[in-house]
Structure formats: structure tokens, C-alpha cells
Amino acid sequence: MKLNEAKGDWALVTGASSGIGQEFAIQLARAGMHLVLVARRRERLEALALNLQQDYGVQTRVIAADLTERDQAARVHAELSRDGIKVRLLCNNAGSGRWGRFESTAAVDYERMNALNTSAMVAMCHCFFEDLKSFPSSAVINVSSPATYQPVPYMAVYAASKAFVQSFSQALHGEWKEHGILVQTLVPGPTASEFDELAGAYASALLGRGRPGAVASASLAALAGGAPVVTVAKGIYKQRVFAGLAPSSMVIREVAKMFKPPV
Ligand SMILES: NC(=O)c1ccc[n+]([C@@H]2O[C@H](COP(=O)([O-])OP(=O)(O)OC[C@H]3O[C@@H](n4cnc5c(N)ncnc54)[C@H](OP(=O)(O)O)[C@@H]3O)[C@@H](O)[C@H]2O)c1
């Protein structure tokens, strides 16, 4: 999908109230797309919407939604359909993580994380299929993580949820190509956002974070080429070779050393 051909059409970004999602919203507005902004913090979305209208002259819609709730994707879609808004670019960016020992996070928090990172993404894709199909070309961006490429002790559920994202999104790429819908799996490297603090990342691990703007721009620049996977993470090739070729016991041991909570 060529972004310049989507000028005046609608993009929807989940998790637009912060970090990578906020940058997606800004860059899509700069490209002339109207924006549907989805997250829980309405005030943040409204402030962003006002800026996008003033700075780029685009239309905006704010929908405050907790995507861990089962019916929210359908509600978002119904609300937009009522107003005749069809989404041409769907960016499933909202996500959360948790660092630390598996047993030290409540099971209900893992349920929410899985609901947000996996089920909400599936539901959004499902609800917006007819919208996306109605355009000559359209796109879905599903945000994954380098954690997808191997198990991550002390971040076990998050890594597993992103492995789901990676597999699901690439499979959907294969299915939806024939409808003119590009499904891009986006793999950002460690990025400066609210994610680390909310996930309880250890201070020792917070070196070398990239900019959210660089992640969004690499993803959008790659849309025209139709790549199924876009990686914005340094050292990913080495990581994938190691994870793919080294014995599992060695991979698990080495990754555990990197993520083990400090005493
Ligand atoms: N930062 C990194 O190092 C990194 C690396 C690889 C991949 N990623 C992935 O990149 C994506 C964006 O993360 P980020 O770094 O930009 O983190 P962030 O700054 O924490 O942003 C997360 C966004 O998700 C929204 N969100 C969280 N829970 C939600 C819920 N229940 N319902 C609806 N929206 C919800 C948040 O908004 P509200 O709180 O207002 O709801 C926020 O806008 C995530 O999928 C993450 O897994 C991040």
C-alpha cells in the first residue's frame, strides 16, 4: 500500500496515547490520513487529536476503550461504521509486558496481557476485514517484538504472546495478500516509551533505547514494498541465528542471564 495514495482515508491506531502508537498517529496525520485514536486514556487522546487537527488539518476520532475487554473491538468498529468511517490502515500497536519472576505477577494480570497482546489484535483484524477489503490496497501493522524469536525466562508470558503475534500476523499476510491487504509484522527493538516502567523493567536493562519515531517511520516507509516483516532492532540477525542454531539449553541459559532480576 502506498501511503500517498491513502491521503484523505482513515487510519486507526491502538495505543495512540503514548510511545510508538503516538508516533504512528503523528506520522500518518503528516501523510494526510485521518486518524482514529484508540487507548484507555481519553484526555491524552483528545490532546493528541487536537494537535493533529491543528498541525496537519486532518479529521480525528477519539475512542477510549480498554481492549482487554472482549467486546471492545466490535464496539469500536460499530461506532465508526455508524458514522460511515471505513479504515484503510489498521495499526494494532497497543501492548503491555511484565518483567520478573513468573510467579510474582498475578494470573489475572497475565490474562489481561494476553487479551491485549493477542486476542484484541485478532478481534480487530476480524472486525475490520470488510473495511480493509473494500479498498484497492490497504494495510494492517501488527506490532511484535524481538522477544518473539526465542523463549525469554523472566518475561515468559510477554515473549509467548509476541510469538503468537509473529506467527498469526505472518499467516494472515499469506491469506490476505489476495485481497490487496498487506499485513506487516513490525519488530521494534528496545524503544524509549512508557513500556519499560509499566512492565517493571530493571534499571540495569534500560540502556540503548531507540526513538519511537524511528520505529514508526521505518514501518510506514516499508508499506509500499509489501514486506511481511519489518525489523527495527539492532543485532536481530545474530539473535535469530543464535536462537535458531544453538541448542535450546544454551539459548535458554544465555537469555535467562540477561533477564534475571537483580538481587
Ligand atoms: N518499548 C519497547 O522497548 C518495545 C519493544 C518491542 C515491542 N514493543 C511493542 O510496541 C508496542 C507499543 O509499545 P510502546 O513501547 O509504545 O509502549 P507504551 O508507551 O507503554 O504504549 C502502550 C500503549 O498501549 C495502550 N494500552 C495499554 N493497555 C491498553 C488497554 N488495556 N487497552 C487499550 N490500550 C492499551 C496504552 O494506552 P493507555 O494506557 O492510555 O490505554 C499506550 O498508548 C507494544 O505492543 C509493545 O509490546 C515495545
CA distance 191 to 195: 8
Mean per-residue pLDDT, 60-84: 98
Q: What are 10's strand-pairing partners?
A: 34, 87
pLDDT per position as a tens digit, 119-169 = 999 999 999 999 999 999 999 999 999 999 999 999 999 999 999 999 999
Give the number of the atom of ligand 1 that is nearest the alpha carbon of residue 68: 31
Q: Is residue 202 flagged as an active site residue?
A: no
Q: Active-site residue among 110, 158, 202, 237?
A: 158
Q: pLDDT-based confidence at 11, cuts 50/70/90? A: very high
**Which string of DSSP letters, residue by residue, matches the chain?**
--GGGGTTSEEEEETTTSHHHHHHHHHHHHTT-EEEEEES-HHHHHHHHHHHHHHH---EEEEE--TTSTTHHHHHHHHHHHTT--EEEEEE-------S-GGGS-HHHHHHHHIIIIIHHHHHHHHHHHHHHTSSSEEEEEE--GGGGS--TTSHHHHHHHHHHHHHHHHHHHHHGGGTEEEEEEEE-SB-SSHHHHHT--GGG--S-B-HHHHHHHHHHTTTTT-SEEEE-TTHHHHHHHHHHS-HHHHHHHHHHHHPPP-
Instruction: Indicate the pTM of the whole model.
Output: 0.98
Ligand 1 close to Cβ of residue 42 (< 6 A) = no
Question: pLDDT confidence of 203, banded at 50, 70, 90?
Answer: confident
Domain boundaries, the chain: 3-259
Q: Best substitution site from 111, 191, 215 to test ligand 1's pocket, by max atoms within 8 Å of Cβ?
A: 191
Please provide the CATH number assigned to the domain covering 3-259.
3.40.50.720
Which residues, other chains included, contact 14 with Cβ-Cβ below 8 Å and sequence gap of 6+?
A: 21, 38, 39, 67, 91, 92, 93, 94, 120, 124
